[in-house]
Amino acid sequence: MVCEGKEPLTRPATAGESAVAGHPLPKGEGYITDLGTCRVSRKLLIIRSKNSDFANCETAPLGEGQDPVRCGTEEPQGQANQSGAPHDLWLFTMIRIDPAELEIFKNLFHSVAEEMGAALRRSAFSPNIKERRDYSCAVFDGEGRVVAMGDHMPVHLGSMPMSVAAALEALELEPGDIAMLNDPYAGGTHLPDITLVMPVVRPHKAAAHPRRKPQPVFYVANRAHHSDIGGAQPASMGLSEDIYQEGLRIPPVALVRRGAVQRDVLALLLANVRTPVEREGDLMAQVAACRLGERRLLELLEAYGVPKIRFYLESLQGYSARLMREAILQIPDGTYAAQDFLDDDGFSDNPVPLRVSIRIRRGQATVDFAGSSPACRGSVNAVLGITTSAVFYVFRCLLGEEVPACAGLMEPIKVRAPGGSVVNAKPPAAVAAGNVETSQRIVDVLLRALAKALPGRIPAASSGTMNNLSFGGADPRTGEPFAYYETIGGGMGARPTADGLSGVHTHMTNSLNTPIEAFESAYPVRVRRYSLRRGSGGEGRFRGGDGIIREVEFLTDVRGSILSERRRFQPYGLAGGKPGKAGKNELILPGRILKLPSKAAFNAPQGSILRIATPGGGGWGTAGFGIREPGVRSQESEVRSQEPGARSRESEGGR
């Protein structure tokens, strides 16, 4: 077939496309010929299959204004179709995408992910999930491609598809099953992040399709950071040299089978953590969120039918891919390179270089991390899922908020990361800080490279660290062990048109702080100070946001650790803007102040005070051009930093 001198595009059919007429086929049994080059609104789906069930396919109207599917068979040219031989099944689809319906379905799927997150937050036991909101939820199609993400944690969401893929490869999930995993080398991030994956299968009458096993139309998944998963340090976020020191490593296993929790699997996990009651409560909250997502998606399938749902699942993927290509086309063709550094790996003073080159050509982007440091002794190593997640986040930021967060966004983007490097670590490298710290530096180096191509759109560096604090001990009020983990915000980098915000979580983290009241109620601590670090933002035409000062007094002996960055290399400014101030970690003991490095383990006696001063954001614009006095900020940024909906809403009030 030739149209206007061009051969129509032919590619393998996805399961969603092969199911348009209500007949799902295994991937690889069909292929698509897209007649878009013929300027007609249809595709020709040719399925080669030995399954005679598909010879008499049923038609299924997909809605008002859309033509039904017409089915027919055609003998191979010049041959008779012998019994049992493959035959061609031609499905002529005359389906027009309704833009209004596309937007409706996009928001329906997104609302499911958001409602899952709300249920998880309300049901969780730990302050880390119910107060800080260190969790993420997403909806995937029947092939495991992400369709909708909640407005949660970028570092979770961009890597979650790899966890879903690992679960589907390792397990055959039936209706009512829920898979659990946290293995960074099987699609995870670091060990405290536990991911649950559940299939959504619409049941059908056995008499209607006696030989057909129902296939999932969706999968739902969520990921939550657990405040302890075992290992050498309380809260499982200390200094480590290999993954075995970091906690319990869980490959894809079935936590729930046919709706029943597998008590032996759960018991094995709880026997290896310091806070089993809290862990079980958080896990059951994740289970409840999955089940809620399943119910909501089954309601959508009942309301709209499988064919229509699958059609719009496929349409959203194509739509998001087209939008990303259009965004990349706005970047001038060329290669843009940059480098940045991690302070150290926690075991030596040597900086850890990260290098990237971004090649833009005709709506395609190739992101290459060649030249980055080999994997380190410490835990700053990032698995490929983290690196891919950072790339997804940065390019997603080039688009508007209304764009669907689908797998299609990554279709025009290739990621190359050398195996065994700090951005593509291999077992048994330690990875606890790679998820939280290296991910931030990957974003910084990507933005620095893109600033050369889009100087008027890219902000200066933000604080570039999550300032991870973890500690544990025995609570004198109960005698029970406790483990606590939090991240602390900093300054946002100045933008080309406005100051950076102060006291916020930026880039790969999207969590809140732990409110002082909840913190002091749940743990034996007293917050002595919580305020903005005035003047820490970099100067420039637009100033970087200020960091935070947080002082925590320990009311019992604790063992703790800090994983932080930008204590040595300051957050960079852009277009002549000055860098933000570096951060500081100090342990205040009777009669002396102990300066702590960016990554440290410490023993703090009762009455000691930990003081963390987080970095400010870099400035934007040439110094001396429209610059304000130090400490004076634009009206817009000052209002945004203090508005009730800002992530830093508790950071304005110190004690």
CA distance 508 to 499: 20
In the prediction, which pLDDT does 248 show? Answer: 97
Structure tokens at 387: 């690196």
Percent helix, percent strand, percent coil in the chain, to nearest 5: 25, 25, 50
Helix H or strand E segment including 334 = strand 334-342
Q: How far apart are the first and last CA of the chain?
A: 75
CA distance 310 to 99: 16
In the prediction, which pLDDT does 207 show? Answer: 45
Is residue 292 predicted with pLDDT exceeding 90?
yes
Average the pLDDT over 352-363 and give the result: 97
> Of 195, 224, 220, nearest to 121 (Cα)?
224
Sign of CA dihedral 583, 585, 588, 594: negative
Task: Give the CA distances from residue 447 to residues 30, 395, 451, 525, 648, in Å, rounded to whole numbers and listed in that order.
Answer: 40, 9, 6, 38, 23
> Of 525, 517, 527, 528, nearest to 555 (Cα)?
525
104-143 pLDDT, tens per residue? 999 999 999 999 999 999 999 999 999 999 999 999 999 9
580-600 pLDDT, tens per residue? 999 999 999 999 999 999 999
Average the pLDDT over 67-86 and give the result: 38
Q: Is the omega angle on the peptide bond into residue 428 within 30 degrees of 0, that is, cis?
A: yes
Percent of the chain with pLDDT over 70: 79
CA distance 362 to 331: 9
615-626 pLDDT, tens per residue? 999 999 986 654
In the prediction, which pLDDT does 58 show? Answer: 34
Q: Which residue has the higher pLDDT, 625 or 310?
A: 310
Query: So where are the chain's domains?
Result: 9-93, 99-205+213-321, 459-655
Task: Give the CA distances from residue 412 to residues 217, 365, 395, 439, in Å, rounded to whole numbers and listed in that order.
Answer: 25, 6, 11, 21
Computed over every residue of the chain, the mean pLDDT equals 84
In the prediction, which pLDDT does 400 show? Answer: 87
In the prediction, which pLDDT does 55 show? Answer: 32
In the prediction, which pLDDT does 283 show? Answer: 98
393-443 pLDDT, tens per residue? 999 999 988 899 899 999 999 999 999 999 999 999 999 999 999 999 999
Is residue 208 predicted with pLDDT exceeding 80?
no
* Helix and strand totals (H; E) in the chain: 13, 25
φ/ψ of 365, rounded to 5, equals -125, 135
Average the pLDDT over 349-358 and give the result: 98
Average the pLDDT over 476-486 and give the result: 96
HSE-up (13 A, CA, CB side) for residue 582? 13
Structure tokens at 244: 């075995």
pLDDT band for position 511 (50/70/90)? confident
Task: Give the CA distances from residue 250 to residues 157, 186, 267, 278, 594, in Å, rounded to whole numbers and listed in that order.
Answer: 19, 9, 13, 18, 37
Is residue 64 predicted with pLDDT exceeding 70?
no
CA distance 384 to 185: 9
593 forms beta bridges with 588
- Dihedral over alpha carbons 395, 401, 403, 408 (to 10 degrees): 30
Structure tokens at 389: 């997640």
> Of 117, 83, 221, nearest to 164 (Cα)?
221
212-229 pLDDT, tens per residue? 678 999 999 999 999 999
In the prediction, which pLDDT does 344 show? Answer: 98
Task: Give the CA distances from residue 399 to residues 149, 152, 321, 404, 446, in Å, rounded to whole numbers and listed in that order.
Answer: 15, 17, 12, 10, 16
In the prediction, which pLDDT does 210 show? Answer: 57
Q: Is 137 exposed, middle or buried (0-12, 13-18, 19+ CB in 10 A)?
A: buried
In the prediction, which pLDDT does 408 show? Answer: 94
Mapped onto helix, strand or coil, the DSSP state of residue 397 is: coil
87 forms beta bridges with 49
CB atoms inside a 10 Å sphere around CB 331: 19
Mapped onto helix, strand or coil, the DSSP state of residue 238 is: coil
In the prediction, which pLDDT does 624 show? Answer: 63
Residues 6 or more apart whose CB falls under 8 angstroms from that of 209 comprise none
CA distance 339 to 452: 13
Structure tokens at 403: 């764009």
CA distance 438 to 276: 30
In the prediction, which pLDDT does 187 show? Answer: 85
Q: What is the C-alpha radius of gyration for the chain, rounded to an integer number of angstroms?
A: 26
Which residue is listed with tokens 């933005």?
447
Name the DSSP class of 408.
G
CA distance 19 to 142: 11
